[in-house]
Chain A
Amino acid sequence: MNQATPILEVRDLSVQHTVAGGTSHEHLEAVRQLSLSVAAGEIIAVVGESGCGKSSLARAMVGLLPASSGEIYFRGAAVSGMDARARKDWRRDTQLLFQDPHSALSPRRRIVQSLAEPLEMLGVKADGEQQQRILSAIAEVNLPIDILQRYPHQLSGGQKQRIALARALLCQPRLIIADEPLSALDVSEQARLLSLFIELRKEKQIAFVLIAHDLAVVQQLADRVAVMYLGRLIELAPADSFFQSAAHPYSQALLQASQSNWHNTPANEPVLTGEPPSALTPPSGCVFHTRCAQVMDLCNRVVPEQQVLNQSETARGLHQVQCHLYSSQ
């Protein structure tokens, strides 16, 4: 990737949710001091279990959730210092795609109305140009024109997701943040959307932040993989390097859980037992130590620092991990 200014960069980003208790309010740190940058045309996959903070990260990246500390930079400019106009550019250039396309489309509007709305927001009035742009967006996601006059309930899940993608494309975004866009679809729809993402990146240099839990899908798409656990970024690696030699014990467990026995060898015991601890009371030291198979004395006392693994520098960046196994003694 290039060394130019990243499209989006988050530095030491934290996102907090307030959880209403009986008498008091507690703070849940969904994302904790996370740094990540997305280059133009790059696909970064963010993976982790439910509740690891990946959706909170996605929402913060488009400004739907406020950062409690840290900063988000869009094309090098800090989002917090933006005036209304620059903010509007950021919101236009960064589009969000949800897991459930059904709830993202209004059930009472025809598809064409749902597609016209963002254009009207951008000041493209209902005329020839609007129609032209809608038609080309529909063509881009490989859907027939007659779909425009239908209602969402007349479409399959995959078609709805492609409409949601077409709507995002109408804004000519530089970055699409996709929160589990494929997990509600069946295999063949999934494959269709996968190839569409790859095409869009190639032809339009659109960058993607892909929130996902299916590592097989991630390997198809991603240039880099970011692994989150209880709000922390515990590993960040170029995809090749990640799938060849994931470093963090948690990443290794996720990979093992995703492997299937295509050759009918006996199924393994589950590699990750139990569930992540509560994010309200995260464990001391390394947050993963309560489930880690390679836990050491040090792990429940000291928070591991970010380590850069040896000889890991490739064109796509460094392989970084937060784990005591790799600490330089």
Chain B
Amino acid sequence: MNPQPAHNFPAKPTVLSLRQLHLTMPVAGQVRDLIKGIDLDLRAGEMVGLVGESGCGKSLTGNALLGLLPSPLASVHSQVFVLGDKQDLAAADEKAWRKLRGRHLAMIFQEPQTALDPVFTIGQQMVRVIRRHVPGNRQHALDLATASLADCGLGDTARILASYPHQLSGGMRQRAMIAMALSCKPEVLIADEPTSALDISSRDQILTLLRQAADRHNTAILLISHDLAAVARVCDRALVMYSGRVLESGPTARVLNQPQHPYTAALMQATPRISKSRPLAVQPIQGRVEALHLTLPGCAYAARCPRATELCSQRIPELKVSNGNGRAVACHHPLPGAVS
């Protein structure tokens, strides 16, 4: 089963779009912008990678999509359209979110150990989720749970259903978590660092599993990760975030191999890649990430950027469509991003 090549996505319907996500938080008596206006579209069966360093706001964005914002955070003028239905992120109440979560939007987390309830078996937890959203009796829910586990490559379903989370290995727990998330066939799955706590073979298996979910069930998946290699492995498109903004977006292979934003290029140079001969030595990115709540007049990356000029610290570059191919970049001095 091969994934769809990156180029034929326009045919698929958009299942989720996010318009102008702004998240604010009071800091020392002032309201500060943490997420400074993000647009995002997810199409059915598409995998989109959201990448960036720790503290760039990628998890905040993912949580906002499910209405899971922690209390001092507020969203302003942000809207999310799920299957064409408009939700005002600022106004939607818990009741509206509950109808969406689990049924249409699902999320999986980095550490399934903390996302699963330790005192219930996997079966009890899955049945509960399914019965909340799907009509039918307990047996029907159990059948759906079994099918979903089998679909996620957990063969011994009876044993898994009867197991408590601690009785499973890390890789199996993450599979069970994915099976639970996919059990109601949601249109959108948000996966927040799903492989960072796993070893290399489990990571590989989980990534393949997510890709299969996208291909077979047309699930749209947002993969939030700092692991560029994971994103390169499975995602159709990639969005690079920095300090609450998207700096670059486009088809994964182009964005990562021919970056136009100097920050994307720096991320790639910091990522080790296996090669048969002597590998290129990694280059750490100079300087460090500024706190998310600082409001700078210019590009947030300017202080670390080798291409920065005076203009960069004075005016914020807009995210502009660059050269067809579905690419966009927010930079005053973009790299050529060679055309292959």
Residues on A facing B (Cβ under 8 Å): 49-51, 156-157, 183-184, 186-192, 194-195, 213-217, 219-220, 240, 243-244, 253-255, 257-264, 266-273, 275
**Residue of A49, A220, A260 with most chain B CB atoms under a 10 A cut-off:** A260
Report yes or no: B199 in contact with A213, Cβ–Cβ below 8 A.
Answer: yes
CB <8 Å contact, B285 and A191: yes
A215 to B275, CA, bound (A): 10
How many Cβ-Cβ contacts under 8 Å join chain A to chain B?
140
Inter-chain contacts of A271 with B (CB < 8 A)? 201, 204
Q: Which residues of chain A are near B211, meaning CB under 8 Å?
A: 267
Nearest chain-B residue to A194 (Cβ)?
B282
**Is A266 touching B172 in the complex (CB atoms < 8 A)?**
no
Give Cα A219–Cα B275 distance, bound, in whole angstroms.
Answer: 8
A214 to B201, CA, bound (A): 10
Known A-B contacts: A49-B199, A187-B53, A263-B257. Give 7 more (CB < 8 A).
A50-B202, A187-B270, A216-B229, A258-B204, A267-B211, A267-B233, A272-B201
Q: Across the interface, do A255 and B201 meet the contact criterion of CB distance under 8 Å?
A: no
Q: Residue B252 at the A interface, CB < 8 A?
A: yes
Task: Pick from A50, A255, A267: contact of B207, CB below 8 A.
Answer: A267
The count of residues in chain B whose C-beta lies closer than 8 Å to any C-beta of chain A is 55
Q: When chains A and B are docked, how far (Å) is the Cα of A254 from the Cα of B153?
A: 20
B contact residues around A270 at 8 Å (CB): 201, 204-205, 208
4 A-B pairs with least C-beta separation: A264-B253, A191-B270, A216-B272, A260-B229
Contact A264 B6, CB 8 Å, known A187-B53, A219-B274, A257-B200: yes
- Cβ of A269 and Cβ of B208 under 8 Å apart? yes
- Would A275 and B234 count as touching, CB distance under 8 A? no
- Can you list 30 residue pairs at the A/B interface with Cβ under 8 Å? A50-B170, A50-B202, A186-B53, A186-B54, A187-B226, A187-B270, A189-B54, A190-B272, A190-B282, A191-B282, A191-B285, A192-B284, A195-B282, A213-B200, A216-B272, A216-B274, A217-B272, A219-B275, A220-B272, A240-B278, A243-B276, A254-B200, A257-B200, A257-B204, A259-B274, A260-B273, A261-B232, A267-B211, A270-B204, A272-B204
Interchain CA distance A49-B169 in the complex, whole Å: 12
Tell me whether A220 and B5 are in contact (CB under 8 A).
Answer: no
Taken together as a complex, chains A and B put the C-alpha atoms of A273 and B209 apart, in Å, by 12
Min Cβ gap B37→A in Å is: 23
A291 to chain B, nearest CB (A): 9
Q: How far is the CA of A175 from the CA of B18 in the complex (A)?
A: 51
Residues 1-21 of chain B, each 1 if its beta carbon lies under 8 Å from chain A, else 0: 111011000000000000000
Chain B 174-228 residues near chain A, CB threshold 8 A: 196, 198-205, 207-208, 211, 226-228
The reply on B283 being an interface residue by CB < 8 A is yes
Contact A188–B53 (Cβ < 8 Å) = yes
Q: Is the CB of B54 within 8 A of A49?
A: no
A157 to B285, CA, bound (A): 16
- B126 sits at the interface (CB 8 A): no
Q: Which residue in chain A gives the minimum CB-CB distance to B211?
A: A267
B199 contact set on A, CB distance < 8 A: 49-50, 213
Q: Which of B226, B274, B283 has the most CB of A within 10 A?
A: B274
Q: Closest chain A residue to B56 by CB distance?
A: A186
Is A49's CB under 8 angstroms from B284's CB?
no
How distant is the Cα of A220 from the Cα of B285 in the complex, in angstroms? Answer: 16
Chain A residues with Cβ below 8 Å from B141 are none
Residues of B within 8 A of A263 (CB): 253, 257
Given contacts A187-B226, A214-B200, whether A258 and B274 have CB atoms under 8 Å apart is: yes
Q: CA of A194 to CA of B199 in the docked complex: distance in angstroms?
A: 19
Contact with A along B242-279 (1 / 0, CB 8 A): 00000000011100110000000011001111111111
Partner of B54, one of A156, A183, A215, A269: A156
A49-B272 CB under 8 A given contacts A240-B278, A260-B232: no
The complex places the Cα of A253 from the Cα of B170 at a distance, in Å, of 20
B273 touches A188 (CB 8 A): no
In this assembly, does B281 line the interface, its C-beta being within 8 Å of a C-beta of chain A? yes
Are B281's CB and A262's CB within 8 A?
no
B273 touches A262 (CB 8 A): yes
Nearest residue, chain A, Cβ from B171: A275
Distance in angstroms between the alpha carbons of A227 and B251 in the assembled complex: 36
Is B230 engaged at the interface, CB distance under 8 Å to the other chain? yes
Q: List the B residue with the shortest CB-CB distance to A185.
A: B54
Partner of B228, one of A49, A187, A220, A257: A187
Note all chain A residues with C-beta closer than 8 A to B205. Answer: 270, 272-273
Known: A156-B54, A217-B272. A262 touches B257 (CB 8 A): yes
Of A213, A214, A270, most buried by chain B (CB within 10 Å of CB) is A270
For A244, the chain B residues whose CB sits under 8 A away are 276-277
